A and B are shown apart, each in its own frame.
Chain A
């Protein structure tokens, strides 16, 4: 049983903790992103220990409760059974099963505000329990928590479920309680073209703001090419001014690289630092860190502490001397915003936004690559260009103008005839972008460790051919 609405409102209002929106405002004003880890385990005591450990040892600006996949799919009974049998078998914290009293206990066990992160196409029960627990930051949207996660939930259904959450946020805002609603532009996390990510978020943000949401975090996934990533992050406030009402606060968020992560801890740490730096240069208010155990699965607390600290280091003034080529960023920005306009403007022009989104995905005028859902066509084929930036090799049925198509073509400069035979390998290689960096690093390290022919170790033969 949930507590009465008035009791929940009172609990949230009387909380001595800083609200997520206040932490984000302060970060935006400072021009330095706060760092937030992902973390969630099945058992209650284990979850509390994890949160307090991360806070004590790494001081992240915002903490997370990641929800298990049974709860995401509303299989609350299975979540409860698994919790009773073996909590370690759950891949997150089953908040609905534990209930709001334990949620409040977690909320009160740390100073940092807590966001609930999950992946549910219909989050209504989870949102109710989150709110009763005092959590006023909640991730997801009707497109971004459906298409990457569920095979066959209609967009009509997921958009309607999320609209209810957003309307409730609107009511809360009228009573002075601001819920930070984060949109998951990361989508399938594999070679997501930046304009697809931003277009989906713009549409969800418009739907949310029409429902009354007053605070939106728009998350963009680090693609790996720094100019493109900075252009995308800096475009978020511009797109918000263009397409969203003035009374909505917008915070750009960077998700550190979500694709195939290097297993070598040194290279992984470098990538984590790179992500933090990209977030700061792009003007993000928040960065979600990775850990150097990413390649092996869910990280332990120790690795998460290190990941938070490494990302935070990139956001200090230590690296303020770093500059990027602003002309390249400007060029990227122009084309990126143009692509987003071509994707969202026809949809925004329709009288019923939700219906227009559903129709556009059915027709392929909106699309995401590598969708798990049958409700996106996935006709879009992304490809990295020579710089590593993500382009459209095949735009599917996206309604791009001739200049946009030409620009993508020019950036890629591929010989399509020979590519078609190697397509799978080429795209697989693009997906493994940072493994190539790892391989180069390891080759260099082998060279340094085994410098001459006098060395008879196992690396000697390889290094003699590898000296540059």
Chain B
């Protein structure tokens, strides 16, 4: 995969209130192994920083935000405002433990999708597959994936 002419770029990081570093590092590792250029913003990253990173890396295929502490909705609350301001226009993928504690899984997904999150993943191992699907869909816009 690394023999591609131009390297594919993704932006990853952990949601604002979340300091879980291990999964973030493992995902970065996995994507680098798969040949991606990974811009890793690390733990405790506000949404604004993801938007800034996208400005700096406009070729990024997607922004991946991890959240393990159950505060995904609160941490992504500003997404509609940012999008309205013309920022973060790129597939936004969220994954991790979104339904910690008393949150209902379905509700939490609906709430995140209503903010404008494009994809929600349960397993980190699904990330390369989803990125490939998005990539293929973009390359051949008429095939309904």
The residue of chain B having its C-beta at the shortest distance from the C-beta of A151 within the complex is: B44
Instruction: Let me know if B25 is at the binding interface, CB within 8 A.
Output: yes
Q: Across the interface, do B42 and A423 meet the contact criterion of CB distance under 8 Å?
A: no
Contact A423-B30, Cβ < 8 Å, known A151-B44, A374-B42? yes
Contact A424-B27, Cβ < 8 Å, known A190-B22, A370-B22, A372-B19? yes
Instruction: Let me know if A94 is at the binding interface, CB within 8 A.
Output: no
Q: Across the interface, do A188 and B26 meet the contact criterion of CB distance under 8 Å?
A: no
Instruction: Let me know if A142 is at the binding interface, CB within 8 A.
Output: no
Instruction: Let me know if A427 is at the binding interface, CB within 8 A.
Output: yes
Q: Which of A151, A420, A423 sits near B43, CB closer than 8 Å?
A: A151
Chain B residues, Cβ within 8 Å of A151: 19, 42-44
Q: Which of B42, B44, B125 sits near A424, CB closer than 8 Å?
A: B125
Interface size bracket, A side: 10 to 19
Q: Across the interface, do A372 and B26 meet the contact criterion of CB distance under 8 Å?
A: no
Q: Across the interface, do B124 and A424 meet the contact criterion of CB distance under 8 Å?
A: yes
A399-439 contacts to B (CB < 8 Å): 420, 423-425, 427-428, 431
Q: Across the interface, do A381 and B29 meet the contact criterion of CB distance under 8 Å?
A: yes
The residue of chain A having its C-beta at the shortest distance from the C-beta of B127 within the complex is: A424
Instruction: Let me know if B21 is at the binding interface, CB within 8 A.
Output: yes
Instruction: Give the interface centre of A188, A374, A424, A428 by most chain B CB atoms within 10 Å.
Output: A424
The residue of chain A having its C-beta at the shortest distance from the C-beta of B27 within the complex is: A424
Instruction: Give the interface centre of B22, B27, B42, B124 by most chain A CB atoms within 10 Å.
Output: B22
The residue of chain A having its C-beta at the shortest distance from the C-beta of B44 within the complex is: A151
- Per-residue CB contact flags for chain B residues 72-102 toward chain A (1 = under 8 Å, else 0) read 0000000000000000000000000000000
Instruction: Let me know if A371 is at the binding interface, CB within 8 A.
Output: yes
Q: Across the interface, do B125 and A425 meet the contact criterion of CB distance under 8 Å?
A: yes
What's the minimum C-beta distance from A195 to chain B, rounded to whole angstroms? 19
- Per-residue CB contact flags for chain B residues 105-126 toward chain A (1 = under 8 Å, else 0) read 0000000000000000000110
Q: Across the interface, do B26 and A427 meet the contact criterion of CB distance under 8 Å?
A: yes
Q: Across the interface, do B21 and A372 meet the contact criterion of CB distance under 8 Å?
A: yes
Contact A372-B30, Cβ < 8 Å, known A190-B22, A424-B125, A425-B125? no
Chain A interface SS verdict (over half):
loop
Q: Across the interface, do A370 and B21 meet the contact criterion of CB distance under 8 Å?
A: yes
Q: Across the interface, do B29 and A431 meet the contact criterion of CB distance under 8 Å?
A: no
Q: Across the interface, do B42 and A369 meet the contact criterion of CB distance under 8 Å?
A: no
In Å, the complex CA distance between A374 and B27 comes to 16
Instruction: Let me know if B33 is at the binding interface, CB within 8 A.
Output: yes
In Å, the complex CA distance between A103 and B122 comes to 47
Number of B interface residues in the complex (CB < 8 A): 14
What's the minimum C-beta distance from B26 to chain A, rounded to whole angstroms? 5
Q: Which of B27, B33, B42 sits near A372, CB closer than 8 Å?
A: B42
In Å, the complex CA distance between A188 and B19 comes to 12
Chain B residues, Cβ within 8 Å of A431: 22
Chain A residues, Cβ within 8 Å of B43: 151, 372
In Å, the complex CA distance between A188 and B21 comes to 9
Chain A residues, Cβ within 8 Å of B22: 188, 190, 370, 431
Chain A residues, Cβ within 8 Å of B125: 424-425
- Per-residue CB contact flags for chain B residues 27-39 toward chain A (1 = under 8 Å, else 0) read 1011001000000
- Per-residue CB contact flags for chain A residues 357-388 toward chain B (1 = under 8 Å, else 0) read 00000000000011111100010010000000
Q: Across the interface, do B26 and A423 meet the contact criterion of CB distance under 8 Å?
A: yes
Q: Across the interface, do B33 and A420 meet the contact criterion of CB distance under 8 Å?
A: yes
In Å, the complex CA distance between A431 and B22 comes to 10
Chain A residues, Cβ within 8 Å of B30: 423-424
What's the minimum C-beta distance from A25 to chain B, rounded to whole angstroms? 37
What's the minimum C-beta distance from A70 to chain B, rounded to whole angstroms? 14
Chain B residues, Cβ within 8 Å of A423: 26, 29-30, 33
Q: Given A151-B19, A371-B21, A424-B124, list of 12 further CB < 8 A pairs?
A: A151-B43, A151-B44, A188-B21, A372-B42, A373-B42, A374-B42, A378-B21, A378-B25, A381-B29, A423-B26, A424-B27, A424-B30
A contacts, CB < 8 Å to B: 151, 188, 190, 369-374, 378, 381, 420, 423-425, 427-428, 431
Q: Which 6 A-B pairs have the closest CB atoms?
A: A372-B21, A424-B26, A420-B33, A370-B22, A370-B25, A370-B21
B contacts, CB < 8 Å to A: 19, 21-22, 25-27, 29-30, 33, 42-44, 124-125
CB<8 Å pairs between A and B, sample of 19: A151-B19, A151-B42, A151-B43, A188-B21, A190-B22, A370-B21, A370-B25, A371-B21, A371-B25, A372-B21, A373-B42, A374-B42, A381-B29, A420-B33, A423-B29, A424-B26, A424-B27, A427-B26, A431-B22
